[in-house]
Amino acid sequence: MMLSTQALLSAIGVGEKSATVIGATFQWFLRDLTGMLGGVLFTCYQGSNLDSNAKMWRLVADLMNDLGMLMDLVSPLFPSAFVFIVCIGSLSRSFTGVASGATRAALTQHFALENNAADIAAKEGSQETLATMIGMALGMLLARITIGHSFAIWISFLSLTMFHMYANYKAVCCLSLNNLNCERCSIVLSHFLKTGQVLSPKQVSSMEHVLPLWMTPWSPKGGDSLYKRVHLGVRVSSLDSLAMINLLQSAGSHYKKEKYLLQQKGGTVRIITHKDSVAADILQSFIHALVMAKLDDQDGSISSESQSWMAKHYEVFLLKLQSSGWKTERLLSSSVVWRANWLVDYSTDKND
């Protein structure tokens, strides 16, 4: 950060007689304005995903922060495009601010084993302040040594950035989160269907992806991709007429007492949630959809077999999850915006 700040101030014109205060102020203002707008847009687009993928977004936040500093370091090399480059850097850091703050809150809850989130946050903030002070002192020394030596600046910056990202990757991999998100739920259920046993949070943490989705093909970990075939919170009006007819038939037969409906087509399972569904219903619907997606690879009646599995094994599966250290109160997922309404039969008698 010290190296990039030094390059940015130099590009703005600090120390040059030709530089004007109003020019530097305008450039700085435009840079900050771009970052603010970027933060708002990023929150609108990805805000609901930060809870469910805290590990990945924690890593992405550090990557975007390093990318922003790289833009500041590059800016003096292209004077004609200086404003555009620093705005890109500010935009990148704005993503960092949103993602870092949101995931920090989620991870603080994970470490607050005695419901002492405020105490954990205060101590974490003190540790970060101390680390920042030490880093600033070393950074000033490094900036002093490398000033005027472009090759040394770039070697130092790239080396420190690579080490920073590697350290953050290893740190994120160490996290054993015990909340069920879509991928962790898929990994645990697939293993349960094969062996009848439930993996612990520590075992699952070594199998789930922490890299961004576009880097998944290069990930060394063998996660489960079954969850990608499940679409949660589908809008009813997005279904075609045939799918709607099948949905109404299943609502009157298979899902009379459930607060969700499942519709399977083309290898994907779509979940329509009831307007009165709660967190437990969302978790149940997602597990049911995963079972249906798994059975889709086999022959037989998918709906009846998945219903039979849920009736026999769902409660046992939840108990084993809880005994293995998992929290089963809710599923960490994107917000379910679209919901539907239909009559739910809570009676034990069969009615028309």
Q: Are 210 and 55 in contact (CB under 8 A)?
A: yes
Neighbouring CB atoms inside 10 A of 17's CB total 6
Residue 239: closest CA among 271, 202, 191, 208: 271
Q: Beta-carbon neighbour count of residue 133 at 10 Å?
A: 10
Three-state secondary structure string covering 168-231: HHHHHHCCCCCEEEHHHHHHHHHHHHHHCCCCCHHHHHCCCCCCCHHHHHHCCCCCCCHHHHEE
Where does 77-195 have alpha helices with state H?
Answer: 82-111, 117-146, 150-173, 182-195
In the chain, the percentage of residues whose pLDDT exceeds 90 is 21
**In this structure, are residues 109 and 117 in contact, taking their beta carbons and an 8 Å threshold?**
yes
Section 110-131 average pLDDT: 87
Give CA–CA dist 41/33, Å, rounded.
Answer: 13
Q: Which two tokens stand for residue 341?
A: 């309404």
- Report d(CA 289, CA 263) in Å as an integer: 9
Long-range contact pairs involving 77-80 (C-beta distance under 8 Å, separation at least 24): 79/11
Q: How far is CA 114 from CA 110, 118, 202, in A?
A: 10, 11, 20
**Residue 179 scores a pLDDT above 50:** yes
- What pLDDT is attached to residue 165? 92
- The closest of 282, 288, 285, 316 to 303, measured between CA atoms, is 288
pLDDT tens digits, residue range 59-113? 988 999 899 889 888 888 888 888 888 888 888 888 888 888 888 888 888 888 8
**Mean pLDDT, all residues of the chain:** 82
For 213-224, the pLDDT digits (tens) are 666 555 545 556
Grade residue 251 by pLDDT with cuts at 50, 70 and 90: low
150 closest CA partner among 78, 77, 86: 77
CA–CA–CA angle 137, 141, 145 (5° rounding): 170
Whole-structure pTM value: 0.79
Q: What's the CA gap between 208 and 206, in Å, rounded?
A: 6
Delimit the domains of the chain by residue range.
Answer: 1-174, 180-340
CA dist 256 → 23, 182, 196, 262, 295 (Å): 68, 25, 28, 12, 22
**Other beta carbons within 10 Å of 98:** 21
pLDDT class for 293, splitting at 50, 70, 90?
A: confident
CA 201 to each of CA 5, 58, 100, 188, 322: distance values in angstroms, whole numbers, following the listed order: 41, 18, 23, 9, 11
